Homo-oligomer: A and B are copies of this chain.
Amino acid sequence: MKSPVTDYLEDLLTSTRDENSGELAAYIPELAKADPNKFAIALTTVDGRSYAVGDVDHEFSLQSISKPFAYALALADRGLSHVISKVGVEPSGEAFNELSVEEGTQRPDNPMINVGAIAIHSMLVSDSAGQQERIDHLLDFLSRLAGRQLHIDQSVFESEKETAQRNLAMAHMLKSFGLFEAEAHEVVEGYIAQCAIKVNVQDLSIMGATFANGGVQPITGEQTVDSIVARQVLSVMVSAGMYDGSGTWFAQVGIPAKSGVSGGVLGVLPSQLGIGVFSPRLDEKGNSVRSIEVFKQLSAQMGLHMMNAEAYSYEAVRLVRQVGSETVIELQGRLEFTNAEETLHRLENMKLECADLVVDLTRVSEANRVGRAMLLDGLNAIQDEGIQVSLLDPDNVLKMRGECEDDGIQVLSASSE
B-binding residues in A (CB < 8 A): 1-5, 7, 45-47, 49, 88-93, 99, 110, 163, 165-173, 175-176, 184, 211-214, 216, 227, 230-232, 234-236, 238-240, 244-248, 250-251, 254, 256, 270-273, 301-315, 318, 332-334, 336-338, 341-342, 344-345, 347-348, 362-363, 365-366, 368-370, 374, 377-378, 381-382, 385
Listed by A's residue number, 18 A-B pairs whose Cβ atoms lie within 8 Å are: A1-B378, A4-B344, A91-B247, A99-B173, A168-B172, A214-B308, A227-B309, A231-B254, A231-B307, A231-B309, A239-B239, A270-B308, A270-B309, A271-B312, A271-B338, A310-B369, A314-B334, A333-B365
Decide if B310 touches A227 in the complex (CB within 8 Å): yes
With A236-B251, A370-B303 known as contacts, the answer to whether A309 contacts B230 (CB < 8 A) is yes
Decide if B305 touches A45 in the complex (CB within 8 Å): no
With A90-B248, A91-B91, A169-B99 known as contacts, the answer to whether A307 contacts B381 (CB < 8 A) is no
Docked CA distance A310–B213 (Å): 7
Residues of B within 8 A of A370 (CB): 301-303
Docked CA distance A170–B250 (Å): 27
Nearest Cβ in chain B — how far from A288, in angstroms?
21
Our pick among B88, B92, B239, B309 for the contact of A214 (Cβ within 8 Å) is: B309
Stoichiometry (number of copies): 4
Residues of B within 8 A of A1 (CB): 344, 347-348, 378, 381-382, 385
Decide if B235 touches A314 in the complex (CB within 8 Å): no
Our pick among B170, B303, B341 for the contact of A336 (Cβ within 8 Å) is: B303
Docked CA distance A216–B311 (Å): 8
Given known contacts A165-B173, A271-B310, what 20 new A-B pairs fall within 8 Å (CB)?
Answer: A1-B381, A2-B381, A5-B344, A88-B247, A91-B247, A99-B99, A168-B172, A169-B169, A214-B308, A214-B309, A216-B311, A231-B308, A231-B309, A235-B254, A236-B247, A270-B306, A312-B334, A312-B368, A333-B365, A334-B334
Decide if B213 touches A309 in the complex (CB within 8 Å): yes
With A254-B231, A382-B1 known as contacts, the answer to whether A238 contacts B307 (CB < 8 A) is yes
Nearest Cβ in chain B — how far from A407, in angstroms?
14
Docked CA distance A337–B394 (Å): 27
Decide if A378 touches B4 in the complex (CB within 8 Å): yes
The 8 closest A-B pairs by CB, nearest first: A165-B176, A169-B172, A169-B173, A239-B247, A168-B172, A90-B247, A314-B366, A235-B251
Docked CA distance A303–B368 (Å): 9
With A246-B90, A307-B231 known as contacts, the answer to whether A184 contacts B165 (CB < 8 A) is yes
Docked CA distance A166–B178 (Å): 11
Nearest Cβ in chain B — how far from A27, in angstroms?
9
Docked CA distance A303–B340 (Å): 13
Interface centre among A92, A167, A169, A345 (most CB of B within 10 A): A169
Nearest Cβ in chain B — how far from A325, in angstroms?
19
Decide if B342 touches A45 in the complex (CB within 8 Å): yes
Decide if A3 touches B344 in the complex (CB within 8 Å): yes
Nearest Cβ in chain B — how far from A47, in angstroms?
6
Identify the closest chain B residue to A332 (Cβ). Answer: B365
Decide if A89 touches B365 in the complex (CB within 8 Å): no
Residues of B within 8 A of A363 (CB): 332, 362-363, 365
Residues of B within 8 A of A250 (CB): 235, 238-239
Nearest Cβ in chain B — how far from A305, in angstroms?
6
